[in-house]
């Protein structure tokens, strides 16, 4: 029989091993990403790679410039954020502060269910239903464009933003709210002056997680963004975000050829972007964290 102490030790080692494994795997994936991506910089300089205007990886001679792809990713994410942040945060405020218990219990699971919709379903919806609708209503040449992709991505990030923000708002200490109301503030004043500032770190985290989901999303942008590798001049122009380019081309890029390396290097750029997002989220979460009730 094991003594209690031994048992404790084994259990703690077991959990250490598990967390260490996932960490190692993550590390190995990053190493692999860099190993497969960096060789392209023997062919083109990093500056030319990032600022180059033309993406013709299979031409002879090839051009590896991902500037239009980076702009595509950023714009699609940005516009989807313009839609999803207000909708997500306001829904969260409504659910946490205004809605009655019964409505909350019905609406919250439905919003969370939206997160469970497979991205390919959302992409298909955008391609088959929303794109022809856009063409007919706005009389634009194609409905597969940046606006369509942004809207579909917004659908995907709203649940993330809403659900995490709602938790943050809901967890604001009751005493803060009661104190505000007791001092004569209206409900609206309490929400804007007390509740939101107190939960701003949670809300910011939710926004950044939502945006990084939008930025990393692949299937939707592959299906509905149109895929033209150029810097768009209007929201109804097609774009090709980095993820779409990688997904569409990786399958047939010659193994360990320049094109293959260039796609992995695109992956590195994407990784750096989402990495920055996460660091910002972490920073905000710590910087503006509400500690107790005194720091407001």
Judged by beta carbon, residue 79 or residue 222, the one nearer another protein is 222
Q: Is residue 143 at the binding interface for another protein, with CB under 8 A as the rule?
A: yes
Q: Is residue 257 at the binding interface for another protein, with CB under 8 A as the rule?
A: yes
Closest contact distance (angstroms) between CB of 54 and another protein is: 7
Judged by beta carbon, residue 98 or residue 120, the one nearer another protein is 120
Q: Which of residues 63-92 bind another protein (CB under 8 A)?
A: 68
Closest contact distance (angstroms) between CB of 231 and another protein is: 9
Q: Is residue 248 at the binding interface for another protein, with CB under 8 A as the rule?
A: yes
Judged by beta carbon, residue 74 or residue 250, the one nearer another protein is 250
- Beta strand 55-56 with 63-64 is antiparallel
Query: 3-state class of 10 per DSSP?
Result: helix
Question: What's CA 188's distance to the chain center, in Å?
Answer: 30
Residue selected from 26, 128, 183, 276 as contacting another protein according to rule CB under 8 A? 128
- Which H or E element spans position 64? strand 63-64
Round to whole Å and give the CA distance between 238 and 258: 26
Query: 3-state class of 118 per DSSP?
Result: coil
* Site map 6..45 versus another protein, x via CB under 8 A: ----------------------------------------
- Of 109-117, 161-169, 247-255, 281-289, the segment contacting another protein by CB under 8 A is 247-255
Round to whole Å and give the CA distance between 112 and 144: 27
- Of 58-66, 92-100, 146-154, 285-293, the segment contacting another protein by CB under 8 A is 58-66
- Of 4-12, 113-121, 200-208, 238-246, the segment contacting another protein by CB under 8 A is 238-246
Round to whole Å and give the CA distance between 155 and 204: 18
Closest contact distance (angstroms) between CB of 2 and another protein is: 17
Round to whole Å and give the CA distance between 240 and 57: 14
Query: 3-state class of 45 per DSSP?
Result: coil
Round to whole Å and give the CA distance between 277 and 216: 11
Round to whole Å and give the CA distance between 247 and 218: 7
Residue selected from 87, 230, 280, 285 as contacting another protein according to rule CB under 8 A? 230
Q: Is residue 223 at the binding interface for another protein, with CB under 8 A as the rule?
A: yes
> Contact, 212 vs 157, CB < 8 A?
no
Residue selected from 247, 269, 280, 296 as contacting another protein according to rule CB under 8 A? 247
Unique residue bearing structure tokens 């989807």: 80
- Of 3-11, 44-52, 86-94, 125-133, the segment contacting another protein by CB under 8 A is 125-133
Q: Is residue 126 at the binding interface for another protein, with CB under 8 A as the rule?
A: no
Round to whole Å and give the CA distance between 231 and 243: 16
Q: CA torsion angle for 112, 235, 69, 255 (degrees, to 10)?
A: 70
User: Which residues form the interface with another protein (CB under 8 A)?
Assistant: 54-60, 68, 127-128, 131-132, 135, 141-144, 222-223, 226-230, 237-238, 240, 244, 247-257, 259
């Amino acid at each position: 029989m094991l003594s209690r102490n031994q048992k404790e030790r084994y259990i703690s080692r077991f959990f250490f091993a598990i967390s260490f494994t996932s960490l190692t795997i993550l590390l190995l994936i990053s190493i692999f990403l860099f190993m497969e991506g960096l060789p392209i910089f023997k062919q083109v300089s990093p500056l030319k790679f990032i600022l180059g205007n033309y993406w013709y990886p299979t031409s002879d001679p090839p051009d590896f410039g991902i500037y239009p792809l980076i702009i595509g990713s950023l714009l699609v994410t940005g516009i989807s954020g313009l839609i999803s942040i207000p909708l997500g945060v306001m829904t969260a405020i409504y659910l946490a502060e205004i809605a009655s218990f019964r409505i909350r219990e019905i609406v919250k699971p439905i919003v969370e269910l939206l997160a469970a919709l497979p991205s390919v379903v959302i992409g298909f919806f955008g391609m088959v239903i929303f794109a022809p609708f856009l063409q007919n209503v706005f009389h634009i040449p194609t409905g597969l464009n940046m606006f369509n992709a942004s809207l579909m991505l917004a659908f995907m990030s709203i649940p993330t933003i809403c659900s995490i923000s709602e938790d943050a708002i809901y967890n604001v200490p009751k005493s803060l709210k009661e104190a505000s109301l007791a001092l004569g503030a209206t409900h609206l004043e309490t929400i804007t002056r007390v509740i939101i500032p107190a939960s701003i770190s949670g809300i910011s985290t939710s926004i950044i997680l939502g945006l990084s989901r939008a930025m990393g999303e692949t299937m939707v942008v592959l299906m509905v963004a149109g895929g033209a590798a150029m810097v768009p001049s209007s929201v109804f122009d097609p774009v090709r975000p980095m993820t779409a380019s990688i997904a569409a081309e990786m399958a047939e890029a010659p193994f360990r050829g320049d094109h293959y390396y260039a796609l992995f290097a695109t992956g590195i750029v994407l990784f750096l972007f989402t990495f920055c997002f996460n660091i910002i989220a972490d920073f905000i979460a710590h910087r503006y964290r509400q500690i107790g009730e005194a720091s407001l």
